[in-house]
């Protein structure tokens, strides 16, 4: 019977790993649909950025309560997974608490896991209260439709189930140890689950059933959670690290120039400068996800949908249609759609849709003030502004499509050498009339 259980566990483990690998491979493939961009300079700064922002969560502390709760859940995810390694080894070898030979250190680990699991439960219930009872404004918006709301609740409920299963499993194990059951030798320290004695049964048979049921629920729940991540905003628990490493290091207000346009300007100013040839299929700006660079697409998959960017966006605050969070969610949804089309129809399939127009409207991108508030507020250095600017560039340079006010400015620059409608000869009239 034991060997059958081991085979079943090994099969479940293998299927879980294969599914996660295949789904992860599709996400990597989708990100690689974007243009290649070099972001491997200043490696020391990049490692420090990742350590501070992703590991240290230094940008979370703007909201101290949320930062503390998030850190508890984050620490729980990282540290309690050490215990998962033991469960996997036990499942494959048919053993029970195989690491208990560590003695006092093992007891310390199990006790620490229990305390952390309890704190995670407290934090998760606080997060649920913020969404379902307090209904914080930044968790709502036109982009926060049925699925994004469900996704957030799903993850919190899964975390509750995993932590309850873990503590109940330990509580049953402790009771069986007290009964001197031969399959449950004395091992571990249980500062939280020891209080479950008041609700657990007393018979060994019932305790074994509960312990085994919670053991399987816990580990299969983790396998399911792992394969839920590629379809969830919680993929950021993995992608936050590369995303912060590849983040822009230049000052936030420094915009990138397009090399093709720069070369044309150089040629206009210097007759001896010969610009390199431009390919016939060169596109200015971005119309669809393939026109964006790979870091922008990584940003889209990393978005946590926390709404901090939208909460500080002056355009959104004043009632305009723009929501930086929606920009990232739309980019991710369009990229996922393109990926599905490739899986179904091949690389050359064109569904007639595009990011600009079908997902993101012109009104949204032109509401942006380019203030960089969204980039500054993002806890993991996502850059919605870069996508907005590339979509604008496409509209202006490829389609001559811009608001009247912008077109008027372009005309004034062309005719008067300045954004205003006054001729150069009249530009100092205000100074000449100051004495009147």
pLDDT digits (tens, 9 = 90+) for 294-327: 999 999 999 999 999 999 999 999 999 999 999 9
Q: What angle do CA 200, 206, 210 make, to 5 degrees?
A: 70
**CB distance 288 to 351 below 8 Å:** no
**Region 259-347+354-416: CATH code:** 1.10.1060
CA 140 to chain centre: 18
Cα(53)–Cα(64) distance, rounded to whole angstroms? 15
Using CA atoms, how far apart are residues 305 and 424, in angstroms rounded to an integer? 48
Given this model, what pLDDT does residue 2 score? 74
| pLDDT for 404 beyond 90 | no
Neighbouring residues of 426: CB distance < 8 A, sequence distance ≥ 6: none
Q: What is the mean pLDDT of the chain?
A: 91
Alpha-carbon distance of 173 to 9, in angstroms, equals 20
pTM of the predicted model as reported, rounded to 2 decimal places: 0.89
| pLDDT tens-digit series, residues 196-210 | 988 999 899 999 999
| Residues 103, 291: Cα–Cα separation, whole Å | 57
Q: pLDDT > 70: what percent of the chain?
A: 99
* For range 389-399, the mean pLDDT: 92
Q: What is the pLDDT of residue 1?
A: 62
pLDDT at 434 over 70: no
Token pair 């085979």 in the structure block, residue: 7
Strand partners, 293: 35
Structure tokens that stand for 172 in this block: 């049953």
The conformation of residue 232, written as its DSSP 8-state character, comes to S
pLDDT of residue 275: 84
**Mean predicted confidence (pLDDT) in 334-343:** 96
Distance between CA atoms of residues 299 and 239, nearest Å: 9
Does residue 57 come out as left (phi exceeding 0), alpha (psi in the -120 to 50 range) or beta? left
The model's confidence at residue 261, banded by pLDDT at 50, 70 and 90, is confident
* pLDDT (mean) for 216-220: 94
What pLDDT, in 10s, does the model give residues 21-52?
999 999 999 999 999 999 999 999 999 999 99
**Band of pLDDT at residue 258, cut at 50, 70 and 90:** confident
User: Which of 77-86, 177-186, 253-262, 321-330 is predicted most confidently?
Assistant: 321-330
Which tokens in the block code for residue 181? 């059951």
Token code pair at residue 64: 């101290």
């Amino acid at each position: 019977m034991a060997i059958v259980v081991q085979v079943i566990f090994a099969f479940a483990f293998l299927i879980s790993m294969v599914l996660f690998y295949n789904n992860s491979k599709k996400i990597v493939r989708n990100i690689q649909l974007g243009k290649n961009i070099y972001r491997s300079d200043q490696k020391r700064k990049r490692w420090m950025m990742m350590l501070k922002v992703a590991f240290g969560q230094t940008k979370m502390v703007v909201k101290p309560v949320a930062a503390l709760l998030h850190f508890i859940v984050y620490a729980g995810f990282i540290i309690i997974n050490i215990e998962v390694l033991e469960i996997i080894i036990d499942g494959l070898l048919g053993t029970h608490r195989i690491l208990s030979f560590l003695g006092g250190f093992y007891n310390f680990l199990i006790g620490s896991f229990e305390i952390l699991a309890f704190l995670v439960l407290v934090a998760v219930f606080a997060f649920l209260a913020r969404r379902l009872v307090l209904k914080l404004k930044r968790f709502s918006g036109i982009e926060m439709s049925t699925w994004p709301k469900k996704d957030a609740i799903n993850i919190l409920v899964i975390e509750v189930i995993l932590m309850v299963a873990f503590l109940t499993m330990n509580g049953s194990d402790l009771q069986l140890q007290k009964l001197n059951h031969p399959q449950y030798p004395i091992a571990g320290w249980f500062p939280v689950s020891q209080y479950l004695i008041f609700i657990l049964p007393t018979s060994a048979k019932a305790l074994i059933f509960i312990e085994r049921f919670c053991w399987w629920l816990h580990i299969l729940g983790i396998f399911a959670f792992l394969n839920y991540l590629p379809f969830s905003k919680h993929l950021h628990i993995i992608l936050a690290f590369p995303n912060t490493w590849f983040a822009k290091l230049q000052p936030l207000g420094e915009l990138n120039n397009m090399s093709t346009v720069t070369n044309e300007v150089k040629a206009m100013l210097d007759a001896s400068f010969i610009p390199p040839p431009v390919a016939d299929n060169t596109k200015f700006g971005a119309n669809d996800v393939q026109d964006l660079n790979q870091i922008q697409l990584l940003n889209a998959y990393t978005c946590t949908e926390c709404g901090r960017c939208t909460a500080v966006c002056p355009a959104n605050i004043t009632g305009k249609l723009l929501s930086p969070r929606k920009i990232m969610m739309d980019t991710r949804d369009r990229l996922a759609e393109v990926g599905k089309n490739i899986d179904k129809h091949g690389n050359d399939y064109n569904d007639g849709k595009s990011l600009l127009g079908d997902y993101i409207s012109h009104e949204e991108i032109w509401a942006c003030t380019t203030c960089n508030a969204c980039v500054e507020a993002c806890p993991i250095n996502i850059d919605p502004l870069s996508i907005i600017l590339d979509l604008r560039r496409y509209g202006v340079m490829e389609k001559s499509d811009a608001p009247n006010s912008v077109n008027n400015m372009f005309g004034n620059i062309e005719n008067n050498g300045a954004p205003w409608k006054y001729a150069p000869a009249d530009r100092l009239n205000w100074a000449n009339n100051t004495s009147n």
